Amino acid sequence: MSTTIDQAGAYTLGNRTVRRLGYGAMQLAGPNAFGPPKDAVVARAVLREALELGVNHIDTSDFYGPHDTNQLIREALHPYRDELVIVTKVSARRGADGSWLPAFSAPELEQAVHDNLRNLGLDTLEVVNLRAMFDPYKPAEGSLEPQLATLAELRQRGLIRHIGLSNVTPRQLEEAQRIMPIACVQNMYNLVHRNDDAMIDALARRGIPYVPFFPLGGFSPLQSDALSAVAAQLGATPMQVAIAWLLQRSPNILLIPGTSSPVHLRENLAAAQLVLPKDALAQLDAIATPAA
């Protein structure tokens, strides 16, 4: 398979068109996205190669490191290509032990926006995702209206163009859509974890992108006998099959698989050329079912 992503298709994110297969920068930081990268030279090379292979959508956050990942992006890619869309997220901070802590107040959100602007070397952030932090590790109910109001004010000041959501429930999405246009939703979703099937379909009907985080399982890579069997049948890696499944799942899914390895980067992007036949899709669809 070719390593180009020209056939991955495109979709609208905010008011920009991005290729459906992008890049997530989380793994450029240290373990659990905490601390500096093991090899900053390789990290910058991965970012440059991603763009050379056609990526024009990078997902990041200033709490990766913290600060390290955004600084690497600036060092490697600034001044940015006109077609590149950088999406970031706010509302968390890191404890001294690397723990994920809420940073949900208006001053904290404003500081996070300024930190992202400074470390990325930007005057305006294209898309900022508000990550719900009622539970740092999974969606949990709670109103996002105060936080959205803060981001809306920063948008009026020209610091943000579009606002998205992350780690949210369907109820929080509905609340947010009553307050303002939502550019995208970024929740955990992959071949095994499919709680958001109904949300993906509802967003597709409205033309809103859904951006799965941990599309390959994150810090615990996906493992399944069925996945491995399909990969062997198709002459692909299990991760390539998992990416191809997501691309075929719905046209509004934008993918941001992350890696700090040039080899894995090329493998991930090559998955855009992999078309899963019906029998393979049937095997993969049987791996997990949506939560009740």
| Residue pLDDT, tens place only, 227-274 | 999 999 999 999 999 999 999 999 999 999 999 999 999 999 999 999
* Predicted pLDDT at 121: 98
In this structure, the dihedral spanned by the alpha carbons of residues 189, 195, 197 and 203, taken in order and rounded to 10 degrees, is: -70
**Between these two residues, 25 and 223, which has the higher pLDDT value?**
25
Mark whether 64 is an active-site residue.
Answer: yes
Tell me the pLDDT tens digit for each residue of 62-105. Answer: 999 999 999 999 999 999 999 999 999 999 999 999 999 999 99
Spatial separation of the C-alpha atoms in residues 183 and 162, rounded to whole Å: 6
Residue from 11, 64, 189, 210 carrying the catalytic annotation:
64
* Predicted pLDDT at 219: 63
| Averaged pLDDT, 196-219 | 93
| Averaged pLDDT, 211-219 | 85
* 189, 166 Cβ separation under 8 angstroms: no
* Predicted pLDDT at 225: 86
Spatial separation of the C-alpha atoms in residues 98 and 254, rounded to whole Å: 28
At residue 290 the predicted structure's pLDDT band, cuts being 50, 70 and 90, is very low
* Predicted pLDDT at 288: 72
Backbone conformation region of residue 210, classed left if phi is above 0, alpha if psi is from -120 to 50, else beta: beta
- The candidate with the shortest Cα–Cα distance to 262, out of 72, 51, 45, 77, is 45
Whether the upstream peptide bond of residue 170 has omega within 30° of 0, thus cis, is no
CB atoms within 10 A of CB 287: 17
Domains of the chain: 11-222+251-259 (3.20.20.100)
**Between these two residues, 143 and 221, which has the higher pLDDT value?**
143
* Predicted pLDDT at 1: 43
Q: What is the pTM of this model?
A: 0.94
At residue 7 the predicted structure's pLDDT band, cuts being 50, 70 and 90, is low
Spatial separation of the C-alpha atoms in residues 147 and 69, rounded to whole Å: 24
* Predicted pLDDT at 292: 41
Tell me the pLDDT tens digit for each residue of 157-187. Answer: 999 999 999 999 999 999 999 999 999 999 9
| Averaged pLDDT, 116-133 | 98
Spatial separation of the C-alpha atoms in residues 258 and 212, rounded to whole Å: 12
Spatial separation of the C-alpha atoms in residues 203 and 183, rounded to whole Å: 10
pLDDT at 5 exceeding the cut of 70: no
* Predicted pLDDT at 185: 98
Tell me the sheet residues that pair with 101.
Answer: 93
Backbone conformation region of residue 33, classed left if phi is above 0, alpha if psi is from -120 to 50, else beta: left
Lowest mean pLDDT among 26-30, 222-226, 274-278: 222-226
